[in-house]
Structure 1
Amino acid sequence: MAEEFVTALKPLIDAIGATVVPLDDRADTDLVLDWEGKPAIAIRLDFEDTLSGIIAAAEQELGKQFGDLDRTEKQAAVRLLDGRGAFVLRRSIDEVAEAMGVSRITIYNYLNAIREAT
């Protein structure tokens, strides 16, 4: 029965960049999914790929690489990333700053301005 469960969830698992992990190999950070009241599979999220995907989608939406954006466009990109939850991921500030060619402080300043405005 658990195979049906995995088959049904496979498109979602692939879309979020996760992998199925055998229950015996699961880590504390893995998400255990139940099937008919019993643990069936564990899902491991790859947050590095998740952030890369969020950045790539934002660059495509904006039509430019982050490094090619002007100041106003970078602020809009940070707003977009913040709205998509990118900054809850570990080291996301550093990665976004590097992609934009700015300092971490600049990203924090953009975020503070965005959050104060709302």
Structure 2
Amino acid sequence: MTDEEPRRVPQEAERKRGAGEAERDAILRALTPVVDGIAATFGPVCEVVLHDYRRPESSVVAVAGTVTGRTVGGAMSEIGMRVLARGDEAADELNYVTRTGSGRLLKSSTMVLRDSAGAVFGALCVNVDVTEVGRVQSLLAALSGTGAPSADTPVTTFGDDIDSVVDALLDAHLARQGQTWAGLDRAARLDLFRGLDERGVFAVRRAVEQIAARLGISRASAYNYLSQARATAAPDSHDTPEGAAP
């Protein structure tokens, strides 16, 4: 092997990486007018969001509609974090129902974006506000005596700040445990970190520091809990999405 040959390997890898990034950028550009077209077709009850998961903290690259108040440069929500955590194993999630913090009922779909190599790098998401439909259903159910629809629809935190999404996921996990951090035993603490990891929280920059500060522990302790949680995670530990808008 000549001196030139070792240098060609990283150069070739870099060239392929650059070509892959260019392809992904081209796909996002091609989908941008689709975002406006879908939203215009369904009207003011519809919001369409295009995400680039290479930038979790500012993944929104195009948005049309105002259902959740998202803006370009905004962050992903829980569903995006789960897609990010599952990587190339992620699949489309269609027609799931969630609720905003203000009580609006949404029907949503998340369609993952892949490059020609099959790698997941983003998502096209559609949120339709079906609040009024739900109210009509409740009225008809009351009139017919068949009962009202279930109110156990999960709540999703929306916002352009990724920190608020991370905080909401942490609060939700602690609420399910019915305990504060101080009241959790070691197994429950590992379960908390494992659950957050499975939802993609630690793919976000500074998430470990944010979680540590919220729990009142050192960053080193947080990294230690995360390492132990990953070491003891079950091989098939990804749970079914609980329903969160993209």
Q: Provide TM-score, normalisation by structure 2.
A: 0.33
RMSD: 2.9
2:189 matched to which residue of 1?
A: 74
Matched-pair contact (CA < 8 Å) for 2:59–2:73: no
Q: Which runs of 4+ in 1 moved over 3 A?
A: 1-6
1:37 matched to which residue of 2?
A: none
Q: Which amino acid aligns with 1:77?
A: L
More helix by share: 1
**Following superposition of structure 1 onto structure 2, how do residues 95-106 of structure 1 map, counting pairs within 5 Å?**
95-106=210-221
1:31 aligns with 2:61: yes
Aligned-partner Cα distance in 2 for 1:73–1:8: 40
Q: CA deviation at 1:117?
A: 3.4
Classify the secondary structure of the residue corresponding to 2:46: helix
Q: CA deviation at 1:72?
A: 2.6
Matched-pair contact (CA < 8 Å) for 2:194–2:230: no
Aligned-partner Cα distance in 1 for 2:197–2:225: 10
Aligned-partner Cα distance in 1 for 2:225–2:43: 43
Identity of aligned residues (%): 25
Equivalent of 1:54 in 121, 144, 169: 169
Classify the secondary structure of the residue corresponding to 1:9: strand
Q: Which amino acid aligns with 2:231?
A: E
Matched-pair contact (CA < 8 Å) for 2:193–2:225: yes
Aligned-partner Cα distance in 2 for 1:95–1:52: 8
Q: Provide TM-score, normalisation by structure 1.
A: 0.63
Aligned-partner Cα distance in 2 for 1:96–1:116: 19
1:7 aligns with 2:45: yes
Equivalent of 1:117 in 218, 232, 238: 232
Classify the secondary structure of the residue corresponding to 2:202: helix
Classify the secondary structure of the residue corresponding to 1:32: strand
2:115 matched to which residue of 1?
A: none
Matched-pair contact (CA < 8 Å) for 1:74–1:100: no
Instruction: Find the structure with the greater CA-based Rg.
Output: 2
Q: CA deviation at 1:7?
A: 2.7
Higher RCO (CA 8 Å, separation ≥ 6 residues): 2
Q: Which amino acid aligns with 1:96?
A: I
Aligned-partner Cα distance in 2 for 1:6–1:115: 43
Aligned-partner Cα distance in 2 for 1:104–1:81: 16
1:88 aligns with 2:203: yes
Structure 1 residues 14-63: Cα deviation after superposition (integer angstroms, max 9, x where no partner): xxxxxxxxxxxxxx8532158xxxxxx84622201110111111111111
Matched-pair contact (CA < 8 Å) for 1:29–1:44: yes
1:63 aligns with 2:93: no
